[in-house]
Amino acid sequence: MVDETVLAERLIRYDTARREELPAAAGFVRGWLESRGVEVVEHEHGGLPVLIAEVGANSSHPPTPGHPPCVVLHGHLDVVPAAAEQFEPRRDGDRLFGRGAYDMKGGLAAMMCALRDLADQDRVHVRLVVVCDEESEELEDRSTDWVVGLGLGGDFAITGEPTDMHVGVEAKGVLVLRIRVRGRAAHSSTPWLGDNAVLKAVDVFRAIESLPFSRESTEIFDRPSINLGRIEGGDALNKVPDACTIWVDVRYLPGQDPEEILEQVRALRDIDVERTFVHPPVSVSRGDPYVRALREAVSRASRGEVHSVGRDGASEAAAFIRAGIPAVEFGPVGAGHHGPDEWVSVSSLARYRRAIGDFVRLLPFGLAPARHPASPDRAGPQSSGSLGQRVLRPVEGGRG
């Protein structure tokens, strides 16, 4: 049997934070699968490769009872930048260190192995989708949305983001704000005669952290996430800056309305919201038959309790959900993604591979529930309408 850990190490060695190395990494994935009898079709979107590999039952029929269901395994090859040494994988006991080990080359390696394991079964159609722009700052034109738009979304999707072997049924949405803060210029020797826009911008961010939306929570999430990601201001050292631009990344909760959040921000003084981007949150019913089947398979593989969890980061599962396809995040155990000590548990990679295989093999034949048509709330990345009626409760004490 192919060792998923060795495969993960091979993937880590590609510095896929660099756009120019992504085609080589994708070529390796394609070659590895094809050398094991799995057909791969390579597309291109945004100048980057998109791989589609399929095994199992024939899915040419519509998803109705009596026909094989189609399960999508979704992963990404790209990673965030890191020091050169992080692209040299190393093991320390059960931990495999390296950039992308946890997010998500370890999970992708196990998915590739699971796909090969499932090649001989004919009850379920299994489709592996590998994209190269999940970590991209390009927010409005992602490969995953493009793939789903081609009709390759299946009946249920698993995206292999880190969840520590739990099933991620919720993920926060994204509201990116570019805000211009207005001040008043003066000579730097008499700053009291001016109104420093850079200092005001920091105060604006602190004010956003204290707005009413920031104190709401749900059953899974204790509060939204708010980050000041970029600040630009000042055009001369000897001048009090009269303008400053900040970029604020709000990860809002399922059930919150991004338009209401925007209204609260716009009510702050001396600012102009110049640009926004909205990416919807994810929420899938824990009672969905595919979710129940996956939890059962994970329980068998892990021999422990499996929780339904939420992720603070945005989820590409949203692309499937907008099309009415239930989708979750599910990945191996680890820690430190996007940090200097990223690692994945070697033993969890084997359990993860086994759980995916058990999930597919245990699915009842013909399990293809009626799809839910995309609602106005799921109209697309630019949607800013109501995102649900979940009851929210305030968090005592606000943000520290």
Same domain, 158 and 66: yes
Predicted pLDDT at 365? 60
More confident of the two residues 367 and 195: 195
Q: Give residue-wise pLDDT tens across range 72-117.
A: 999 999 999 999 999 999 999 999 999 999 999 999 999 999 999 9
pLDDT given at position 68 = 85
* Number of independent structural domains in the chain: 2
Residue holding tokens 């309790």?
305
Q: Is the pLDDT confidence value at 57 over 90?
A: no
Check: pTM over 0.85? Answer yes or no.
no
Residue 400 falls within a domain, yes or no?
no
Percent of the chain, pLDDT > 70? Answer: 88
Average pLDDT, the chain: 88
As a dihedral over the C-alpha atoms of residue 10, residue 16, residue 17, residue 23, rounded to 10 degrees, the angle is 170
For residue 73, being part of any structural domain is answered with yes
Higher-confidence position of 400 and 213: 213
* pLDDT tens-place string over residues 24-51: 999 999 999 999 999 999 999 999 999 9
- Span 332-347, average pLDDT: 96
Q: Classify residue 399: in a domain, yes or no.
A: no
Nearest-10 crossing angle of helices 106-117, 22-34: 20
Q: Which CATH number covers residue 223?
A: 3.30.70.360
Residues 184 and 139 in one domain: no
CATH number at residue 147: 3.40.630.10
**Pick from 58, 253, 283, 28: nearest CA to 167:** 283
Residues 270 and 351 reside in one and the same domain: no
Give me the pLDDT at residue 312, please.
84
The answer to whether position 56 is within a domain reads yes
Same domain, 246 and 302: no
* Judgement on whether residues 213 and 296 belong to the same structural domain of the protein: no
Q: Is the pLDDT of residue 1 over 60?
A: yes
Do 314 and 166 share a structural domain? yes
Query: Is 201 in the same domain as 162?
Result: no
How far apart CA 310 and CA 330 sit, in angstroms, is 11
Domain that holds residue 131: 4-171+281-369
Same domain, yes or no, for 93 and 161?
A: yes
Pairwise CA distance, residues 370 & 367, whole Å: 10
Do 95 and 151 fall into the same domain? yes
Decide if 161 is inside a domain: yes
What's the pLDDT score for residue 32?
97
Query: Which stretch of 129-143, 168-182, 371-385 has the lowest confidence by average pLDDT?
Result: 371-385
Question: Considering the domain boundaries, does residue 297 fall inside one?
Answer: yes
Amino acid 139: pLDDT: 65
Look at residue 254 and tell me if it is in a domain. Answer: yes
215/131 same-domain check: no
- Is residue 124 domain-shared with residue 261, that is, in the same domain? no
Whether residue 147 lies inside any domain: the answer is: yes
Question: Among the ranges 38-52, 134-148, 358-372, which has the highest mean pLDDT value?
Answer: 38-52
77 and 159 in a common domain:
yes
